[in-house]
Amino acid sequence: MDTARETVADAARLARQLVTNQALGTLTTVMADSTVHPAPVPFGTMEYFVDDSRGNLVLLISNLSVSAKNRSVHPTAAVAVRSPTSTAPAMTQPRVTLSGQLEPLTAEDASAERERYLQRHPDAQSWVGWSDFRFYRLQVQAVYYIGGFGGAHYIGSVPLDLYRSQGALISDVQSADK
């Protein structure tokens, strides 16, 4: 029986792999409309994303959405990403939550990210040019990784510098696979 335990370094690598390989997550913002809820509460919705070169997430969000309205009052946000559905129970699969500030991209940055976003989400071509849509970047400030159930998996915070450093390693592996 293998008793090896995932380390924080393993968790950083696996978290970056999840973020690099997945394209859909749950964006959570803080509800800004006090007529809906009397106190600030979390609001979550599924959103497409792409990973930038530093492990931040780029999202295309309608300014008409609740998430964008919330962000205008409370820019703090989080995105939860999980492994794709497999035959294994979902709760035994790795998942990561990235927390930080959701910031609108400048026109120059949006132009640079647009092609990569559309490569990952070709169906977004239908709405990417609509005037109410805008690109945002989740500037990741904290990473929390859950490897699955049990003592063999890492569960906890991952140092941001360790998480970010894994991007170059993943790019090297992807280049070698081509």
68-98 pLDDT per residue, tens: 999 999 999 999 999 876 788 888 889 999 9
| pLDDT tens sequence across 128-156 | 999 999 999 999 999 999 998 877 899 99
SS3 content of the chain, % helix, strand, coil (to 5): 35, 30, 35
Q: With respect to residue 1, please indicate whether it lies within any of the assigned structural domains.
A: no
Q: Are 120 and 48 in contact (CB under 8 A)?
A: yes
pTM over 0.85: yes
Q: With respect to residue 3, please indicate whether it lies within any of the assigned structural domains.
A: no
Domain that holds residue 73: 8-177
Q: How many folded domains does the chain comprise? A: 1
pLDDT (average), residues 115-138 = 95
Query: What is the domain-level CATH number for residue 87?
Result: 2.30.110.10
Give the separation between CA 30 and CA 52, rounded to whole angstroms: 24
Structure tokens at 161: 């510098």
